Structure 1
Amino acid sequence: MADRSLRGIRLGAQSLQSEEGVVFMERRETTYTCDACGHVTNLMFAADAEPPQTWECRACSAEARLNVGGQAVALEATDEKAARTHWDMLLERRTRAELEELLEERLALLRSRRGAGEDPTRQKIGA
């Protein structure tokens, strides 16, 4: 039985392609220094790519800044807007006084239903 076993390769474990004739993109090494502990992280980027100003330090997960010419770059202020929350969008449509008035109306409605013995979560049958 052992003479007739099939032999093959493990799928996914070895590549069947060779790197012969492949021209790799030009690369450059970029260095980041951790502000918290001074750890140095070296990364490879494509030569024509602009590296980000900050990178997460591999050793301590703090923010590391890009080094250019041996000096850490000064971080530029971003013009990105802060994410708006649901509360922010609600305040754009209504004032706080209007929201308090609506809240009181809804609470009064719920209290009146409870006082009358109605269950606000149950729908009336045949209505």
Structure 2
Amino acid sequence: MVGGNAIRGMRIGASGPSSESERGETAPRHVVSYWCANGHEARLSFALDAEIPDEWDCPKCGLPGGKDQENPPSAGRTEPFKSHLEYVKERRSDEDGEALLEEALERLRQRRGRA
């Protein structure tokens, strides 16, 4: 076989067991449904001995989902993204900023010999 590959056409994991009889039995499971405020249902399979969470994020919209279809959890308040400058402005007044700028400019002038 010139320039061939012995595993050509195979996918990773394709040579492993392909049916449950070859892999063994799956763990006993039960399905739990979660509903978000937009009415989306997420059906998740959990092992019988697993701890089932009260909330699960909706895979469609990202809102939190609960087990009660009639009363889904409300979307938490999300804070908008703040830049570093916005955080600094929260801590300092405009006067503080002007004073710091003037101080920095004065140091720069002194380093350049223009005092």
- With structure 2 as the length reference, what TM-score do the two structures score? 0.50
Which ranges of 4 or more aligned residues in structure 1 deviate by more than 3 Å?
5-9, 70-75, 99-107, 114-117
Aligned-partner Cα distance in 2 for 1:23–1:72: 37
Q: Report the equivalent of 1:51.
A: 53
Q: Which amino acid in 2 is paired with 1:112? A: Q
Task: Tell me which of the two structures has the higher relative contact order, counting C-alpha pairs closer than 8 angstroms and 6 or more residues apart.
Answer: 2
- The alignment of Structure 1 onto Structure 2 pairs a total of residues equal to 98
Identity percentage over the alignment?
28
Q: Which has the larger radius of gyration?
A: 1
| Post-superposition CA distance 1:75-106 (Å, at most 9, x none) | 7xxxxxxxxxx89xxxxxxx969x86776544
Q: Report the equivalent of 1:65.
A: 65
- With structure 1 as the length reference, what TM-score do the two structures score? 0.47
Aligned-partner Cα distance in 2 for 1:107–1:55: 50
- Contact 1:65 1:72 survives alignment (8 Å): no
1:35–1:102: structure 2 CA closer, same or farther, 3 Å change rule?
A: same
Query: Is there any run of 5+ residues in structure 1 with no aligned partner, and where?
Result: 76-85, 88-94, 118-127
SS at match of 1:30: strand
Q: Choose from 20, 26, 30 the match for 1:24.
A: 26
Q: Choose from 25, 33, 36 the match for 1:34.
A: 36
Displacement of 1:63 = 0.8
1:25–1:73: structure 2 CA closer, same or farther, 3 Å change rule?
A: farther
Q: Report the equivalent of 1:90.
A: none
Superposition RMSD in Å: 4.3
Aligned-partner Cα distance in 2 for 1:53–1:6: 49
